Amino acid sequence: MAAGKRAALPLVLTASDLLDGDVVFYAGAGWARGLDEAAVAADEAQAAQFEAILAETEAKGDPVAPYLMTVRIDADGALVPGHVRERIRSRGPTIRTDLGPQARQERQHVSV
Amino acid sequence: MYRYDEFDERVVRQRVAQFREQVGRRIDGSLTEEEFLPLRLMNGLYLQLHAYMLRVAIPYGTLDSRQMRQLALIADRYDRGYGHFTTRQNIQYNWPRLRDAPDILEMLADVQMHCIQTSGNCIRNVTADHFAGVAADEVEDPRPTAELIRQWSTLHPEFSFLPRKFKIAVTGSAEDRAAVAVHDIGIRIVRNAAGEVGYRIIVGGGLGRTPMIGKTVREFLPKDELLAYLEAIMRVYNLEGRRDNKFKARVKILVHELGAEAFIARVEEEYARLDGPSLNVDPAELARIAAYFAPPAFEALPEGSAVLDQAAARDPDLARFVRVNLYPHKMPGYTAVTVSLKPIGGPPGDATSDQMRALADIAERFSLDELRVTHIQNIVLPHVKLDEVPQVWAALVEAGLASANAGLVTDIIACPGMDYCSLATARSIPIAQEIAKRFADPDRQQLVGPLGIKISGCINACGHHHVGHIGILGLDKAGIENYQITLGGDPGNEASLGERLGPGIDAEQVPDAIERIVDTYLELRHADGESFIDTVRRVGLDPFKPVLQPKEPARAAA
């Protein structure tokens, strides 16, 4: 991400879990493993708030490597990462759909 | 196989204990991420797209069955049941957890393995010809030299903070299978006119965003002068290599900017100043190391094998495997078997834990307990009796490891790409999978003959695309994955860098383009079975350029 240029709105805050490296998303009261649980900053004021949380997270170092990521909201209201890299990161390897968050979601669907 | 001495063992065990403490301090908050980052990288632990990634060194790609079984056990216990063999003869685990990393390192130490110097700006794992000790054209086995360099470079205090990472490869054969011309230092074991064995030293090769073919800085270095001479090269690089710009910090840029002649002069000047005898290895120590690589107890066997010939005559699949995946051994009655980790439609270089255990069992029973990892992301069973090839093949079939495609169009090198890597700008593996599916027909692959496709998912070129006969580089073009194709690269004796064929194309166009390149080659090649690379060298790129144009719609008859 180019320094000084913030991700475009709407956006979410993402990072990696310190202990297991899982992709996590800021969910308001804490960090969640699924993008569908992420809190969304839709305007400048909320984005500024996310930037402050990002700075706090960096200082705390847990979760690690936080950054802001642009999303779009599809017709069903689901969050979709704006860039293909982020889509892969939020789901798991496209060549191994049995691994990563996509597999977790799959399992949840089965158990429900 | 080299066996750790007391000193090696202590170094590795101490490092595990240190890292265990460091991880503990990171988890309890007494180390910040900024403080911890270089410590985890020094132990091969990266943070990737989906998870941490642990890179394990496999010095010069040599393993025994016990080590391979341990790698399988780690994959089961701490990862997701598989591992990825890389172009640097290493293995990577894609899903380890931070808290488990010290336990994994402990398990590696139990079989004399580690992750030291698999990351960071230091001298990385030393690679070598995967047919070391096998090839008939070998002046000398490169592994004692590689092991000596491993020992010298491990935790070398002066070279732990280089301007950038540093990769060394060694070959002892007339045919270069270790890609020495595209390493920071490439070493060729050669004989001089007097018949003495020594080294040709090549410096400043590399891939990445500024690919370069290395320059020979010494035609013949007496064997016992190696470490002092390497020390002189490293010292010049360490002092004069750029530290202001990460992208210009590799030694290839220094060699290029100074010019080979001036670089050589600096090295020789430094070399003259060094106290060689205090730096060079004691010949007794070199002999101790070399003894570990003495040829194993080969049996006296006749040339050829009636058993294999008869079995191959009965089974065309075995016959094909024998034609494609066997490499001649210097000992009569033996062969080296390439086990392809490139099944049609599979991720190149991946092996499941069950496959690793099968390979360990086969190596123990049929290959004098040895395995090699190749930089082409395959496994070699180096010492198999021709008589036992049918049994080895049957066991490989059972394990899903009998793809008869070594060196052919579907034996594709691919980096992990954007499916795993946080640096990637595009995916590599799905491109490899789709191309392989297009050429799945084994007869067609054999008709095409030797052809190396190499795919990188970013400019850093872990997939060696610059030296692919066909190279594919994945980039990000305004948020869309886009692929540039190069032709004419070669990693071997006549090392060359591929030239771009034209503008980049979308992912779904790549298999078509590759197919049309191959078809064009088949039309152009000489009837004597001229290889793809020879044809490209003869005719140039122009005849291939139309393949990037969209196909013309069928014209109505005039």
| Per-residue pLDDT reduced to its tens digit, B407-437 | 999 999 999 999 999 999 999 999 999 999 9
Q: Is residue B262 in a domain?
A: yes
Say what percent of chain B tops pLDDT 70.
98
The answer to whether the CB of B18 falls within 8 A of the CB of B36 is no
Q: Are residues B543 and B426 in the same domain?
A: yes
> How distant, in Å, are the alpha carbons of A14, B46, B122 from that of B36?
20, 11, 17
Q: Give the model's pLDDT for residue B549.
A: 82
ipTM of the prediction greater than 0.95, yes or no: no
Q: How many domains does chain B have?
A: 4
pLDDT in tens, B444-492: 999 999 999 999 999 999 999 999 999 999 999 999 999 999 999 999 9
**Burial of residue B269 (number of CB atoms within 10 Å: 0-12, 13-18, 19+):** exposed
Strand B197-203 to B215-222 pairing:
antiparallel
- CB contact residues (below 8 A), chain B span 161-190, against chain A: none
In the A/B pair of chains, how many CB contacts fall below 8 A?
74
d(CA B263, CA A60): 46
Would you say residue A107 has pLDDT above 70? no
CA separation for the pair A62, A17 (Å, rounded): 7
Q: How many CB atoms lie within 10 A of CB B415?
A: 32
Between CA B451 and CA B274 the distance in angstroms is: 45
Residues B154 and B257 in one domain: yes
- Distance from the B100 Cα atom to the nearest Cα atom in chain A, whole angstroms: 9
Number of H helices, E strands in chain B: 18, 21
Q: Are residues B384 and B423 in the same domain?
A: no
Arithmetic mean of pLDDT over chain B = 96
- Neighbour-count burial for A26-56, b at 16+ CB within 10 Å, e otherwise: bbeeebebbbebbbbbeeeeebeebeebbee
CA nearest A93 in B: which residue?
A: B419
Closest CA to B443 of B316, B290, B270, B315: B316
CA-based R_g, chain A, Å: 14
Cα–Cα separations (whole angstroms), residue B202 to B59, B76, B157, B233, B255 = 20, 41, 24, 11, 11
Q: DSSP class of residue B292? A: H
Domain final residue, candidates B263, B292, B321: B292
Do B244 and B169 fall within a single domain?
yes
Domains of chain A, by residue range, sit at: 11-83
> Lowest-pLDDT range, A8-22, B42-56, B126-140, B542-556?
B542-556
As a whole number of angstroms, the distance between CA B364 and CA B374 comes to 19
Contact B419 A95 (CB under 8 A): yes
Last residue of a domain, one of B258, B292, B326: B292
**Residue B542 DSSP SS3:** helix
Q: Is the pLDDT of residue B556 over 80?
A: no
Name every chain B residue with its beta carbon within 8 A of the beta carbon of A95: 347, 419, 427, 429-430, 433
Of B458, B459, B456, B482, nearest in space to B471 by CA: B456
A74 to chain B, any CB pair closer than 8 A? The answer is no
Q: In this model, does residue B252 exceed pLDDT 60?
A: yes
CATH assignment at residue B29: 3.90.480.20
Instruction: Find, in chain B, the residue whose alpha carbon is nearest to that of A20.
Output: B97
Report CB contact under 8 Å: B52, A21.
yes
pLDDT at B108: 98
Q: What is the CATH number of the domain that holds B462?
A: 3.30.413.10
Q: What pLDDT, on a 0 to 100 scale, did the predictor assign at position A2?
A: 43
Burial class, B382, CB count within 10 angstroms (exposed 0-12 / middle 13-18 / buried 19+): buried
Joined together, the tokens standing for residue B220 give 């013949």
* Residue to substitute from B22, B27, B32, B33, interface A, most A β-carbons within 10 A: B33
Do B280 and B139 fall within a single domain?
A: yes
Q: Give dist(CA B467, CA A19) in Å, integer.
A: 39
Per-position DSSP letters for B347-400, written without gaps between them: PTTEEEHHHHHHHHHHHHHHSTTEEEE-TTS-EEEEEEEGGGHHHHHHHHHHTT
A55–chain B Cβ distance below 8 A for any pair:
no
- Does residue B408 belong to any structural domain of this protein? no
Residues B154 and B189 grouped into a single domain: yes
User: Per mean pLDDT, which range of A3-7, B156-160, B378-382 is the poorest?
Assistant: A3-7
Q: How far is B99 from chain A (nearest CA, A)?
A: 6
Residue B135 and residue B173 in contact, taking contact as beta carbons nearer than 8 Å = yes
Chain A hits for B349, Cβ within 8 Å: none
Least Cα distance to B333 among B299, B301, B365, B296 occurs for B301
One domain, residues B390 and B537: no
CA B380 to CA B339: how far, in whole Å? 6
Token pair 């911890």 is at which residue? B36
B333: left (phi over 0), alpha (psi -120 to 50) or beta: left
The pLDDT confidence band at residue A110, using thresholds 50, 70 and 90, is very low
Domain boundary among B335, B363, B398: B398
Q: Are B327 and B134 in contact (CB under 8 A)?
A: yes
pLDDT at A105 over 90: no
Nearest to A21 among B47, B480, B481 (CB): B47
pLDDT at site A4? 64
Contacts of B365 by beta carbon, 8 Å cutoff, 6+ apart: none
Question: How far is Cα A93 from Cα B420, in angstroms, rounded to an integer?
Answer: 6
Domain that holds residue B502: 413-548
Chain B CA closest to residue A21 = B51
Which residue of B22, B49, B433, B435 to mutate against A (max A Cβ within 10 Å)? Answer: B49
**CB neighbours of residue B558 within 10 Å:** 3
Amino acid B552: pLDDT: 58
Residues B378, B454, single domain; the answer is: no
- Residue A22 sits at the chain B interface (C-beta within 8 Å): yes
Instruction: Give mean pLDDT, residues B200-226.
Output: 97
pLDDT band at residue B27, thresholds of 50, 70 and 90? very high
Which of B35, B41, B50 is best to mutate for the A interface (most A CBs within 10 A)?
Answer: B50
Per-residue pLDDT tens over the stretch B333-372: 999 999 999 999 999 999 999 999 999 999 999 999 999 9
Residues B271 and B209 in one domain: yes
Q: Count the Cβ atoms, other than its own, within 10 Å of residue B285.
A: 11
Summarize the confidence of residues B58-62 as an average pLDDT: 96
Percent of chain B with pLDDT over 90: 96
Q: What's the farthest any 2 CA atoms get from each other in chain B?
A: 84
Mention every residue, 6+ apart, whose C-beta is less than 8 A from residue B199.
B145, B187, B188, B189, B190, B218, B220, B221, B223, B226
A8 interfacial to chain B (CB closer than 8 Å): no
Q: Which tens digit of pLDDT belongs to each residue from A53-97? A: 999 999 999 999 999 999 999 999 999 999 999 999 999 999 999
Inter-residue contact B542 to B502 (CB < 8 Å): no
Write the DSSP symbol of residue B525. S
Q: What DSSP state is assigned to residue B507?
A: G
Chain-chain contact of A85 with B47 (C-beta, under 8 angstroms): no
> Is the Cβ pair B481, A84 closer than 8 Å?
yes
Tell me if B479 and A94 make a contact (CB, 8 A cut-off): no
Answer yes or no: do A20 and B98 touch at CB < 8 A: yes
Are the beta carbons of B239 and B159 closer than 8 angstroms? no
- Is B470 part of a structural domain of the chain? yes
Of A20, A22, A93, the CB nearest to B420: A93
Residue B123 lies in a domain: no
> What number of helices (H) and strands (E) belong to chain A?
3, 5
pLDDT at B165: 96
B532 and B487 belong to one structural domain = yes
Q: Which two tokens stand for residue B136?
A: 């008939």
A20·B80 Cβ contact <8 A: no
Nearest to B403 by CA among B363, B357, B442, B372: B442
Q: What angle do CA B206, B340, B401 make, to 5 degrees?
A: 150
Q: Give the per-residue pLDDT at B553.
A: 58
Q: What pLDDT, on a 0 to 100 scale, did the predictor assign at position A112?
A: 35
| Residue B392 pLDDT > 80 | yes
- Tell me B316's DSSP state: H
Entry field: residues in chain B: 558
Interchain CB distance below 8 Å, A20 and B419: no
pLDDT in tens, B283-305: 999 999 999 999 999 999 999 99
B195 touches chain A (CB under 8 A): no
Instruction: Let me know whether B503 and B542 are in one domain.
Output: yes
What pLDDT is stored for residue A106 in this prediction? 54
3-state secondary structure of A41: strand
DSSP state of B428: -
The mean pLDDT of B27-52, rounded to a whole number, is: 96
Mean pLDDT of B223-244: 97
| Residues B343 and B282 grouped into a single domain | no
Neighbours of A9 (CB within 10 A): 15
